[in-house]
Amino acid sequence: MPARLPVLFFATLITAFLATLSAAKQQPNIIYILLDDAGYGDLSCYGQKKFQTSNIDRLAREGMKFTNHYSGSTVCAPTRSVIMSGLHTGHTPSRGNREIKPVGQFPIPAATFTIAEALKKAGYATGAFGKWGLGNPGSEGDPVYQGFDRFFGYNCQRNAHTYYPTWLFDNLQKIKLNGETYAHDLIMDRAVEWIDNHHKGPFFCFLPVTIPHAAMHVPEEYAAPFRKKFPEFENKVGRYGNNKPFARNPAAQFAGMMTALDHGIGRVLKSLEKYGIEENTIVLLSSDNGPHKEGGHMPDYFNSNGGLRGHKRDLYEGGIRCPLLVRWPGKVKAGSTSDHISAHWDLFPTFCELAGTETPRNLDGISFLPALLGKKQKQHEYLYWEFFEGGGKRAVRIGKWKAVQNQLTRKGQDAPVEIYDLTTDRAEKNNLATRKPELIARARDIFKQAHTPSQIWKFKWEQ
């Protein structure tokens, strides 16, 4: 009998080891791709007619397309803060674009528990490649101090206004460039290389690419086919500050940029195929806000907002409703569509549930994993946004209803509230405020309860 003890002991160890391996396999790799200033209508799977995004469309064809997904904010930095913190703009640390001289933006505090830190704690390798904008290099908001093992790209949003920079950051090291290298391609090289090196997983790859933010820059090989397609704009020049080269025929440049972006997404998908990890990798793609009107870009010509009202810096649908595509072979039904109302602050709890780790308390987000898996999905009571530029703005979505309040700087808290029924009026043309006083009262209550005062981000009446 005693002779059997070693056998039982080792059998127990092997069983435990296999169980550990099985648990590890259940943690899917997570790739989250965030486009920069791409509108709801800028992808062909969402209706774009003037160019094709075939690799991105593959995510829709082989996964799920969301039709009621929203960005964290209507400009870059606060959206990234919302994603990292799981808190909407009434609570998140960074609620606007605020510069730090000479390089970088307002840093999110060291105490911020980010989505990267949560996944790293759950055993994930974490990498970020693209535009950060949440802390100047070396500050407490630097990505290497916010949960990322590796960062490569634009730490500073201002530097990201050119695709031919003279420097980028590799973790804390400033990498000098010659000003002739197309940074998007270089960043994608590093991202794909990192995925290759971590293909055994689990890994979290955050890809906040810069395309299609201005300036309108793309190598000529991508723009050339569209110069022939859009010859009427060949004499039009798009300028974005002093960021050269200036864009000749910005229509061709924009379509070429989106094509270059699509090719990069194809590279990521090929890497997953190469290592046979497609079924254990969930890929999500979204955008940080609505389409811009800078550098010569013509969003109306391209129907970039997909027929929605407004653009970047608006809290109308065109400024904040964004694409969301999710591909997870064998788990998410191919070719499916979801009208679940969700937002960027839902990513944190969703990723925690995917990783099998505890979701922090007091997040504003709700996991939408049930919606992905075709199960019963919990709904938001409301979605909330606040924005301090352009006269001060707030908005809330309550089910099918949308309330928008502008002119806060001039008119204060009593500024008029507009009411729209998004089921019949997605373009927000018919203001129903005079017919819906009860919704106005509800929106005003939410504006008060959803906003936590900040020492930095203040409305006029708080100063």
**Per-residue pLDDT tens for 83-137?**
999 999 999 999 999 999 999 999 999 999 999 999 999 999 999 999 999 999 9
Domain made up of 384-462: CATH architecture: 2-Layer Sandwich (3.30)
What sign does the dihedral 38-44-49-54 (CA atoms) show? positive
- For 204-261, how does the pLDDT look when each residue is reduced to its tens digit (9 = 90+)? 999 999 999 999 999 999 999 999 999 999 999 999 999 999 999 999 999 999 999 9
Strand pairing report for 383-387 and 324-327: unpaired
Nearest CA to 250 out of 215, 278, 219 is that of 215
pLDDT, average across residues 75-84: 98
Query: Angle at Cα 198 formed by Cα 192 and Cα 199, nearest 5°?
Result: 85
- For 403-441, how does the pLDDT look when each residue is reduced to its tens digit (9 = 90+)? 999 999 999 999 999 999 999 999 999 999 999 999 999
Site of tokens 């080269």: 245
Q: What CATH superfamily is the domain 27-380?
A: Alkaline Phosphatase, subunit A (3.40.720.10)
- Look at residue 181 and tell me whether its pLDDT is greater than 90: yes
In this predicted structure, what is the pLDDT of residue 23? Answer: 42
State how far the Cα of 93 lies from the Cα of 109, in Å rounded to an integer.
7
In this predicted structure, what is the pLDDT of residue 319? Answer: 98
Nearest CA to 38 out of 390, 402, 388, 325 is that of 325
In this predicted structure, what is the pLDDT of residue 25? Answer: 53
pLDDT, average across residues 294-317: 98
Q: Euclidean distance between the first and final Cα of the chain, in Å?
A: 80
Residues contacting residue 32 through CB under 8 Å, at least 6 positions apart: 83, 204, 205, 206, 207, 284, 285, 286, 347, 351
State how far the Cα of 273 lies from the Cα of 271, in Å rounded to an integer.
5
In this predicted structure, what is the pLDDT of residue 26? Answer: 81
- Look at residue 22 and tell me whether its pLDDT is greater than 60: no
- Look at residue 20 and tell me whether its pLDDT is greater than 80: no
Query: Angle at Cα 220 formed by Cα 212 and Cα 254, nearest 5°?
Result: 25
pLDDT, average across residues 366-392: 98
The mean-pLDDT minimum among 21-30, 125-134, 193-202 falls in 21-30
Residue-averaged pLDDT of the chain = 94
pLDDT, average across residues 364-381: 98
Q: Domain boundaries in the chain?
A: 27-380, 384-462
pLDDT, average across residues 316-328: 98
Tokens for 287? 């955008």
- Look at residue 19 and tell me whether its pLDDT is greater than 60: no
Does the pTM surpass 0.85? The reply is yes
